[in-house]
Amino acid sequence: MKEFELISFIRRKFKGQSKNKSLYLPIGDDCSIIKPPKGKLQVTTADSLVDGNHFSSKYFTPREIGQKVIKVNISDIASMGADGPYYAWLTFALPKKIKAPLIKGVIGGIMAACAKYGVTLAGGNITSAKEFSIHLTLTGWVKKGEAMLRGGAKQGDSIFVTGTVGASTSAYRQFKAGKKPEPFLLKRWANPNPKPEVGIYLAKNRIASSCIDISDGIFQDLKHLVKESKAGAVLEWEKIPIEPELKKRNPTPNMIGYGEDYELLFTVPQKEIEKLKRFQRQISEIGKIVKSGFKVVDKNGREVDVGRTGYSHLA
């Protein structure tokens, strides 16, 4: 598929997307123009997904690849508590030999995820590359004073995480070892489940003192959070919500801590915990913020060695 054929295909496919008054100038010009919603601040994130690293065109369906492009960015936006209207700018970096059905399938997945999360495609770019990768910029909006940051955790706050962790990491590690990931692990790696409804609720009700998306691993990202907060953390190993089938295998920190989970990790002052009842089936309390240091302990209080477990983009 030639460049301008692909551009025309994308424009046709997204022509019927929901029209929002904030999108002053849509796809078709050198730039798009957005009119910010009144009284809101813009929240922007950008992410890159590379074949053979963040996804596998061998084991993911094209639709799963496309949906993941949107979902991982929604997770970042959710960590700040940003609401819609969401706007996305999409860039394809394509090898010359890439097949048209793959790209069309990916676009179908992007369309489906855009419809699910209320995202409008506002523009983008297409370029050639040696390896297949997809890059997305996503914007949302938040009222001044409501954005959740990494740097607000205080001593005594409880630490919570949404969903379950570990399955996606395990799939990724099996893949990197040259194996086909086991089906139940692959399903989670290919189909992250971001939690924008949790992030928006936490922000609007000013419940969380800090928040982070754990795409690079629960231990590493919690360390980022406490560093920015100038605090420390104690995590309880038995309380970490490891995916049930994986938990049966008595996993080690290395098996669950290398990222790709796209869940929210956040801290909450004790006086605000009562407000979390509506999400009690979606979240788990896993530890406490302390004055300094970082450790993971088992039920007997013994320290669990997590080392430097976590994903490094330049390793």
Q: State percent of the chain over pLDDT 70.
A: 95
Q: What are 28's two structure tokens?
A: 């078709």
Q: What are 210's two structure tokens?
A: 């800090």
Is pLDDT above 70 for 302? yes
For residue 87, which of 44, 116, 57, 58 has the smallest C-alpha distance?
Answer: 44
Q: pLDDT value at position 14?
A: 76
**pLDDT digits over 36-68, tens only?**
888 999 999 999 999 998 999 999 999 999 999
**pLDDT digits over 243-283, tens only?**
999 999 999 998 898 889 999 999 999 999 999 999 999 99
Q: Report CA Rg, the chain.
A: 20
Tell me how far apart the alpha carbons of residues 222 and 199 are, in angstroms, rounded to a whole number.
17
> Which residues are CB-neighbours of 30 under 8 A, at least 6 positions away?
none
Q: Give the count of beta carbons closer than 10 Å to the beta carbon of residue 28.
A: 9
Delineate the domains of the chain, giving CATH numbers in brackets: 3-143 (3.30.1330.10), 150-304 (3.90.650.10)
Is pLDDT above 50 for 314? no
Is pLDDT above 80 for 142? yes
List b or e across 216-251, with b for residues whose CB sees 16 or more CB atoms inside 10 angstroms: bbbbbbbbebbeebebbbbbbbeebbbbeebeeeeb
Q: Read off the pLDDT band of 236 (50, 70, 90).
A: very high
Q: pLDDT value at position 254?
A: 86
Q: Give the count of beta carbons closer than 10 Å to the beta carbon of residue 81.
A: 29
Is pLDDT above 70 for 187? yes
Q: pLDDT value at position 8?
A: 79
**Average pLDDT of the residues of the chain:** 91
Q: What are 110's two structure tokens?
A: 């992007």
- pTM for the whole structure: 0.91
**pLDDT digits over 153-174, tens only?**
999 999 999 999 999 999 999 9
